[in-house]
């Protein structure tokens, strides 16, 4: 029987799943993902996590618990940084410890420390060591890493062709695509943008209302980075850099008709990044701006009302 | 240039002395009051942490008094503090308050930035004068830190309630008024003498409780609702984990010269948290372990409500509490924290500590195993953080 490794469908799953799937798969493990977030996943996460924690981390707990009984190992990496001089978020830095001390019976965690600040090859080294820890030899792990990295590159290239992770991760091709409809700039962390349960199908709704979207994933990191360096001080959260860089670029170069910032209740970095974003959008443009804050109590009704008011505003501005 | 800076505990005393001795005019914000908090809450982002909000309140109030230059510290992440100044500047500018901001970035962010900031502050003053101003400010900070330590144990044993607080206020004024190193020394000596004179019950049984958490919340009584005083008046001796003078030495001096030694913290915390998480997250864990092993009765962990490093710590602390057999109470504070609610929780916590203290040792061990057995959703003997 194959050894089973579980990858929670939460947090940076949306950016790195192809990498991890290919890496562990190539080594011969069976990769198991938790089901898409639903009410029971969310509820279990909310109970398991500290009440002060942000929604995405609560959701992560829920996915961990959904996998706990079904796998031999849980893959809970400690992601410090994916870009030199930046961090993701302190909560990512303590995530494996938080999960381990949650008081639940869990399979052993595989928690490599991924930190680009410790050198370019840190991710590679950490993955290979993790594989060695499970008894795989270094050479095999290196080959697996190379394949995996290649897969990741392909994945990112595809996203840059204006596609969303939903197509590749959920194999969901039902989203209508049109290149002529007006574009809304949709900003936020990937786990807010692409978790269709917690954001109540925001992307689908926008498509149904006749808009297309542009998200940070659709731009080349080089462009984003170039714009982000214009900030008065080096911003040390990479997800925040991406949000602001994307906004600066799109406000200048693409014909967007409105900006949505999707954030989660109690998110630390976003509390400051969002503030800068809103002030900049108002200064650089006169586009309608909508801040949507998700938490476990967000009701679909409220979200739709706010969304519709926002879309009305867009139409009103466009026609006048 | 009329300089102001945010409040944090008694830091204003050494800071004001430093700038005054450099020949700068200082306009301090009024002591943090409800109005400060209201201003901050009104103009700062909703989910920003409490220190940022109160800083904003401080700055607006100082501007009303005529200050035109803000001196702030910077940072390199991952904690939000490192980006405060940039956000605060935009908020103030949009309010039409155009103050100059001098941000002192830590040397890890590059020496050039730090020196540039410092140079703007010192102007044409000679190096010797800067050094002297620094020495006096440093002496004040150290004296206050050491006296504060004494205050905690005396306050818990005082016979007439409030006598220690009165003396402490006098001490602050004396140190504040001292103009040179000798005078600081004299004021400090006088402070010790005054403390000595307070009538105490020397053999009173006391609880000893450690105070850990995020630096601003630990140091600023207006934010932690005067925790130290309240605990002292309940007969609890507080052991504070963070003293600014120590913080300056490890973070600014030793760190800069690669001499910083965090091995003890990392070792103590390792079974529970084995990676830096920003801010004081790892210290909250390691100090709790340290206090437990030193036989203290309990630990109180304080932080601003959305503080990321401390949320990590808070999540892990129940495990530490079980593993090290020490009760821990977490208080996450924001502008809505009500004194009454906190007071009730503190009283309940102390009640629990007294019960444990009076329980014979053997029973305490047993109790621990029982607690472990009944460990469903972690909460230690009925006390969890929220
Ligand atoms: S970045 Fe924000 S949402 Fe993401 S884990 Fe950190 S606090 Fe939570």
Tens-digit pLDDT profile for residues A80-137: 999 999 999 999 999 999 999 988 999 999 999 999 999 989 999 999 999 999 999 9
Report whether A7 contacts A33 (CB < 8 A). yes
Looking at residue B259, its pLDDT comes to 65
**Chain B residues close to A89, C-beta within 8 Å:** 78, 308
Provide the pLDDT for residue B385.
37
A89: closest CA of chain B, how far (Å): 6
3-state secondary structure of A22: helix
Residue bearing the bigger pLDDT, B98 or B261? B98
From the CA of B261, how many Å to the nearest CA of chain A?
19
Query: Is B264's pLDDT higher than 50?
Result: yes
Classify residue A265 as exposed, middle or buried by CB count within 10 Å of its CB (0-12, 13-18, 19+): middle
Q: What is the per-residue pLDDT for B112?
A: 74
Determine contact, residues B272/B289, Cβ cutoff 8 Å. yes
Query: Which residues of chain B lie closer than 8 angstroms to A52, CB-CB?
Result: 305-306, 311, 314, 332, 385-386
The answer to whether B45 contacts A274, with C-beta atoms less than 8 Å apart, is yes
- pLDDT on residue A76: 97
Among A102, A265, A271, beta carbon nearest to B45: A271
pLDDT of B384 strictly over 60? no
The one-character DSSP state at A162 is T
B146 at A interface, C-beta within 8 A: no
Q: Which fold has domain B206-381?
A: Rossmann fold (3.40.50)
Chain A contact set for B377 (CB, 8 A): 47-48, 103
Distance in angstroms (rounded) separating the CA atoms of residues A91 and A107: 21
Contacting residues for B296 by C-beta, under 8 A, at least 6 apart: B208, B209, B210, B239, B326
Distance CA(A203)–CA(A128), nearest Å, equals 36
Alpha-carbon dihedral sign for residues B98, B104, B110, B111: positive
Closest C-alpha residue for ligand 1 atom 1: A89
Q: Cα–Cα distance between B146 and A233 in angstroms, integer?
A: 37
Architecture of domain B2-125: 3-Layer(aba) Sandwich (3.40)
Four-CA torsion B299, B305, B306, B308, nearest 10 degrees? -10
Asked if A270's CB is within 8 angstroms of B318's CB, the reply is no
Please give the residue that has the higher pLDDT: either B204 or B319: B319
**Cβ contacts of A78 on chain B, cutoff 8 Å:** 275
Q: d(Cα B325, Cα B297) in Å, to the nearest integer?
A: 10
Asked if A37 contacts A197 with a C-beta cutoff of 8 angstroms, the reply is: yes
Residue B367 pLDDT: 57
A31: β partners: A5
Of A52, A94, A268, the CB nearest to B80: A268
For B305, which residue in chain A has the nearest alpha carbon? A52
More confident residue, A254 or B375: A254
Residue pair B237/B202 in contact (Cβ under 8 Å)? The answer is: no
Cβ contacts (< 8 Å) between B280 and chain A: which residues?
Answer: none
Which residues in chain B are contacts of A295 at CB distance < 8 A?
none
- pLDDT tier at B111, thresholds 50, 70, 90: confident
Average pLDDT score over residue span A251-269: 93
Backbone Cα Rg of chain B: 21
- Three-state SS at B2: strand
Residues A112, A114, A115: CA angle, nearest 5 degrees: 145
- Asked if B93 is an interface residue toward chain A (Cβ–Cβ < 8 A), one would say no
In the structure, what pLDDT confidence band is assigned to residue B255 with cuts at 50, 70 and 90? low
- The pLDDT confidence band at residue B109, using thresholds 50, 70 and 90, is low
Rounded distance between C-alpha atoms, residue B232 and residue B237, angstroms:
6
All residues at 6 or more sequence positions from B11 whose CB lies less than 8 Å from its CB, including other chains: B141, B219, B244
Q: Give exposure, B358-378, as e/b (b: 16+ Cβ within 10 Å).
A: eeeeeeeeeebeebeeeeeeb
Mutate to test the pocket of ligand 1, among A13, A15, A89 (most ligand atoms within 8 A of CB): A89
Contacts of B329 in chain A (CB under 8 A): none
For range B28-42, the mean pLDDT:
95
Using the predicted structure, report yes or no on whether residue A60 has a pLDDT greater than 60. Answer: yes
- CB atoms < 10 A from the CB of A208, how many? 11
How many residues would you count in chain B? 386
Give the nearest partner residue to B306 out of A78, A94, A268, using CB atoms. A268
The 10 Å Cβ neighbour count of residue A74 is: 24
Could you tell me the strand order of the sheet in which A256-264 lies?
A212-214, A183-188, A256-264, A289-294
Q: Return phi, psi of residue B213, to 5°.
A: 135, -155
* Element housing B253 (H / E): none
Ranges A192-201, A204-213, B241-250, B285-294: which has the least confidence: B241-250
Q: For A186-203, write each residue's pLDDT tens digit.
A: 999 999 999 999 999 999
Q: Verify cis geometry, omega within 30 degrees of 0, for the bond prior to A15.
A: no
Best residue in A94, A116, A282 to probe B by mutation, most B CBs within 10 Å?
A94
| Closest-CA distance of chain A to residue B6, Å | 19
Per-residue b or e along B26-55, where b marks 16 or more CB atoms closer than 10 Å to that residue's CB: bbbbeebeeebbebbbebbbebbbbbbbbb
Cα separation, B164 vs B241, in Å, equals 21
pLDDT tens for B167-210 read 999 999 999 999 899 999 999 999 999 999 999 987 778 899 99
* Sign of the alpha-carbon dihedral angle for B220, B223, B227, B230: positive
- Say yes or no to pLDDT of B151 above 50: yes
The residue to mutate among A13, A45, A54, having the most atoms of ligand 1 within 8 angstroms of its beta carbon, is: A54
With beta carbons less than 8 A apart as the criterion, state whether A84 and B272 touch: no
Q: Can you say whether the dihedral through the CA atoms of B154, B158, B160, B162 is positive or negative?
A: positive
Asked if A89 lies within 8 A of B274 by C-beta distance, the reply is no
Confidence grade of residue B379 (pLDDT, cut at 50, 70, 90) = very low
Please state which of the ranges A290-304, B192-206, B249-263 shows the lowest mean pLDDT.
B249-263
Contacts of B77 in chain A (CB under 8 A): 86-87, 236-237
Chain B (281-340) residues lying within 8 Å, Cβ to Cβ, of chain A = 281, 305-309, 311-316, 318-319, 332
Residue B153 exposed, middle or buried by CB count within 10 Å (0-12, 13-18, 19+): middle
Peptide bond into B78 cis (omega under 30): yes
Per-residue pLDDT, B256: 65
Which residues have any ligand 1 atom within 6 Å of their CB? Answer: A 54, 56-57, 89, 91, 189, 264, 267-270; B 308
Q: Report pLDDT digits (tens) over B57-94.
A: 999 999 999 999 999 888 888 999 989 999 999 999 99
| CA nearest to B378 within chain A | A103
Q: Give chain A's length.
A: 320
Q: Provide mean pLDDT across the span A248-265.
A: 93
As a whole number, the mean pLDDT across chain A is 93
Q: What's the pLDDT band for A179 if we cut at 50, 70, 90?
A: confident
Output the pLDDT for position A281.
94
Task: Please state the rounded mean pLDDT for residues A241-261.
Answer: 94
**How far is residue B3's CA from residue B23's CA, in Å, rounded to a whole number?**
11
Element (H, E) at B246: helix B244-247
Q: Tell me how far apart the alpha carbons of residues B330 and B328 are, in angstroms, rounded to a whole number.
A: 6
CA distance B380 to chain A (A): 12
Nearest-by-Cβ selection for A101 from B45, B90, B319? B319
Buried b (16+ CB within 10 A) or exposed e, A174-192: ebeeeeebbbbbbbbbbbb
Average pLDDT, integer, range A292-312: 89
Residue B105 CB coordination number (10 Å): 23
> Chains A, B: CB contacts under 8 A, how many?
133
- The residue-averaged pLDDT of B248-255 equals 72
Cα atoms in the 13 Å half-sphere on the side-chain side of B197? 10
Q: Do B78 and A274 touch (CB under 8 A)?
A: no
Mutate which of A189, A192, A296 for ligand 1? The one with the most ligand atoms within 8 Å of its CB, which is A189
For chain A, which domains are there?
4-159 (3.40.50.11890), 166-319 (3.40.50.11900)
Report in angstroms the alpha-carbon separations of B35 from A319, B12, B222: 45, 19, 12
Residue B81 near chain A (CB below 8 Å):
no
Burial of B184 (0-12, 13-18, 19+ CB in 10 A): buried
CB-nearest to A103 from B45, B273, B378 is B378
pLDDT at B258: 67
Cβ pair B339, B311 in contact under 8 A: no
Cβ-in-10-Å burial (0-12, 13-18, 19+) of B339 comes to: exposed
For ligand 1, the distance from its centroid to the CA atom of residue B235, given in whole angstroms, is: 40
């Amino acid at each position: 029987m194959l050894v089973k490794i579980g990858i929670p469908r939460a947090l940076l799953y949306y950016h790195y799943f192809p990498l991890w799937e290919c890496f562990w798969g190539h080594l011969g493990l069976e990769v198991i993902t938790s089901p898409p977030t639903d009410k029971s996943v969310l509820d279990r996460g909310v109970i398991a996590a500290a009440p002060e924690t942000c929604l995405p981390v609560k959701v992560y707990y829920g996915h961990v618990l959904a996998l706990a009984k079904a796998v031999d190992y849980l893959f809970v990496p400690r992601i410090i940084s994916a870009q030199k001089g930046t961090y993701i978020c302190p909560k990512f830095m303590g995530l494996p410890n938080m999960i381990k001390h949650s008081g639940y019976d869990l399979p052993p965690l595989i928690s490599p420390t991924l930190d680009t600040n410790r050198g370019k090859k840190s991710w590679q080294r950490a993955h290979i060591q993790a594989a060695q820890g499970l008894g795989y030899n270094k050479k095999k792990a290196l080959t697996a890493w190379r394949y995996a990295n290649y897969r990741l590159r392909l994945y990112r290239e595809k996203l840059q062709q204006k596609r969303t992770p939903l197509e590749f991760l959920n194999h969901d091709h039902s989203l209508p695509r049109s290149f002529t409809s007006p574009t809304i700039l949709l900003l936020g962390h990937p786990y807010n943008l692409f978790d269709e349960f917690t954001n109540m199908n925001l992307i689908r709704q926008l498509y149904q209302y006749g808009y297309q979207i542009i998200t940070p994933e659709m731009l080349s990191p080089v462009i984003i980075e170039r714009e982000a360096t214009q900030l008065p001080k080096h911003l040390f959260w990479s997800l925040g850099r991406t949000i602001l860089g994307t906004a600066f670029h799109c406000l200048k170069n693409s014909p967007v008709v409105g900006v949505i910032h999707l954030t989660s209740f109690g998110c630390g970095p976003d509390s400051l990044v969002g503030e800068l974003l809103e002030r900049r959008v108002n200064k650089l443009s006169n586009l309608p701006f909508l801040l949507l804050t998700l938490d476990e109590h967000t009701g679909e009704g409220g979200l739709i009302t706010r969304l519709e008011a926002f879309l009305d505003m867009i139409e009103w501005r466009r026609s006048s | 240039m009329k300089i102001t800076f945010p409040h944090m505990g008694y830091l204003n005393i050494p800071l004001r002395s430093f700038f005054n001795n450099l020949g700068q005019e200082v306009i301090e914000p009024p002591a943090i009051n409800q109005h400060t908090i209201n201003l901050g809450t009104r103009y700062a982002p909703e989910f920003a942490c409490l220190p940022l909000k109160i800083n904003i309140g401080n700055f607006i109030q100082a501007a009303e008094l005529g200050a035109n230059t803000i001196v702030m510290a910077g940072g390199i992440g991952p904690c939000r503090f490192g980006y405060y100044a940039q956000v605060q500047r935009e908020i103030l500018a949009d309010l039409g308050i155009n103050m100059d901001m001098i941000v002192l970035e830590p040397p890890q962010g590059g020496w050039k930035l730090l020196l540039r900031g410092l140079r703007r502050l010192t102007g044409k003053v000679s190096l010797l004068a800067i050094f002297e101003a620094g020495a006096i400010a440093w002496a004040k900070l150290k004296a206050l830190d050491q006296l504060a330590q004494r205050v905690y144990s005396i306050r818990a044993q005082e016979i007439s309630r409030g006598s220690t607080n009165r003396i402490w206020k006098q001490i602050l004024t004396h140190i504040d008024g001292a103009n040179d190193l000798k005078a600081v020394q004299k004021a400090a000596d006088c402070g010790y003498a005054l403390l000595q004179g307070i009538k105490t019950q020397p053999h009173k049984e006391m609880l000893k409780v450690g105070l850990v958490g995020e630096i601003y919340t630990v140091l600023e009584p207006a934010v932690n609702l005067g925790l130290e005083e309240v605990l002292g008046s309940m007969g609890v001796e507080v052991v504070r984990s963070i003293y600014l003078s120590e913080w300056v030495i490890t973070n600014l001096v030793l760190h800069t010269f690669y001499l910083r030694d965090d091995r003890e913290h990392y070792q103590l915390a390792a079974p529970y948290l084995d990676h830096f998480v920003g801010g004081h997250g790892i210290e909250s864990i390691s100090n709790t372990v340290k206090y437990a092993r030193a036989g203290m009765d309990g630990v109180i962990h304080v932080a601003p409500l959305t503080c990321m490093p401390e949320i990590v710590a808070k999540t892990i602390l129940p495990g530490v509490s079980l593993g090290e057999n020490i009760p821990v109470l977490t208080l996450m504070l924001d502008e809505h924290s009500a004194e009454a609610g906190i007071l009730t929780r503190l009283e309940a916590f102390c009640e629990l500590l007294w019960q444990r203290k009076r329980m014979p040792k053997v029973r305490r061990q047993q109790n621990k195993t029982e607690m472990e057995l009944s460990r469903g959703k972690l909460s230690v003997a009925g006390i969890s953080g929220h």
